[in-house]
């Protein structure tokens, strides 16, 4: 990944690591570019103020968490975070000892939604929440449609936009991605600050979905009926 002038400044206090490591990050995916890495880094540093953890390890993990990029419709997609963890381990092998490398690799591997690895350390929990925050709100919506356009996904299924009579398919339709992933992210956050930040962003995501469905002529969804008291 080519680094724009002064891009590393966005990674303070880890600008030195950013200058050294960003050239080794895969490029070509604008939804996982330097700006995304910087936002995840900023989210991680903010969450760490309350959660603690090793800030340097967390900063390097944020810089390298997408250092191997695999397209969303690639069958290897579930392995992307493991591949990134392995590259990060190699890149840092001369600087850190084995225990620290293990912690770095685990944080990167566990950040992925599709990878399904549970975060066991404070750094892994922070990085996962920091990355998921960037998939919510206006930025998350923009990134979802950016990815959809790049892989040739249709905006929605005109015959059944809400997938009421078909399986959800977010490889084919970007609107389905809201229900297969984006609307589910908030409930999976595991840090106090992450959950606090997510609340407003998730509301924006839901509001956008309401606007989108209104503009394509769908009626407002029927609220789920409250359960009857025993």
What is the pLDDT at residue 74?
Answer: 66
Structure tokens at 71: 């397209």
Task: Taking residues 180-204, report their average pLDDT.
Answer: 95
Kindly list the domain boundaries of the chain, sorted by start residue. Answer: 1-118, 135-217
Cα–Cα separations (whole angstroms), residue 185 to 21, 131, 146, 198, 200: 29, 10, 19, 9, 13
pLDDT band at 116 (very low <50, low <70, confident <90, very high): confident
Above 50 in pLDDT, residue 230? Answer: no
More confident residue, 224 or 42: 42
Class at the top of the CATH hierarchy for domain 135-217:
mainly alpha
Nearest to 55 by CA among 119, 133, 126, 120: 126
SS3 letters for 109-176? HHCCCCCCCCCCCHHHHHHHHHHHHCCCHHHHHHHHHHHHHHCCCECCCCCCCCCCCCCCCCCCEHHH
Query: At CA 210, angle to CA 206 and CA 215, rounded to 5?
Result: 150
Measured CA to CA, the distance from residue 215 to residue 175 in angstroms comes to 13
Above 70 in pLDDT, residue 211? Answer: yes
pLDDT in tens, 117-176: 899 999 999 999 999 999 999 999 999 999 999 889 999 999 999 999 999 999 999 999
| DSSP letters spanning 16-33 | HHHHHHGGGS--S-GGGS
Above 70 in pLDDT, residue 206? Answer: yes
């Amino acid at each position: 990944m080519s680094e724009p002038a002064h891009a590393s400044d966005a990674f303070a206090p880890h600008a030195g690591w950013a200058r050294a490591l960003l050239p080794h990050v895969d490029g070509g995916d604008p939804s996982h570019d330097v700006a995304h890495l910087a936002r995840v880094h900023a989210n991680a540093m903010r969450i760490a103020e309350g959660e603690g953890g090793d800030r340097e390890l967390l900063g390097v993990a944020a810089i390298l968490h997408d250092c191997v990029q695999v397209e969303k419709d690639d069958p290897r997609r579930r392995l992307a975070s493991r591949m990134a963890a392995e590259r990060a381990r190699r890149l840092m092998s001369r600087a850190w000892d084995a225990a620290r490398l293990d912690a770095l690799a685990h944080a990167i591997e566990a950040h992925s939604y599709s990878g399904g690895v549970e975060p066991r350390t404070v750094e892994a929990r922070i990085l996962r929440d920091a990355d998921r925050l960037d998939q919510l709100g206006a930025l998350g919506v923009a990134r979802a449609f950016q990815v959809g356009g790049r892989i040739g996904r249709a905006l929605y299924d005109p015959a059944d936009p809400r997938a009421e009579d078909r399986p959800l398919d977010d490889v084919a339709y970007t609107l389905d991605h809201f229900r297969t992933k984006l609307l589910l992210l908030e409930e999976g956050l595991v840090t106090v600050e992450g959950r606090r930040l997510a609340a407003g962003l998730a509301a924006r995501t839901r509001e956008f979905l309401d606007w989108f469905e209104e503009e394509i002529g769908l009626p407002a969804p029927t609220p789920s009926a409250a359960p009857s008291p025993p």
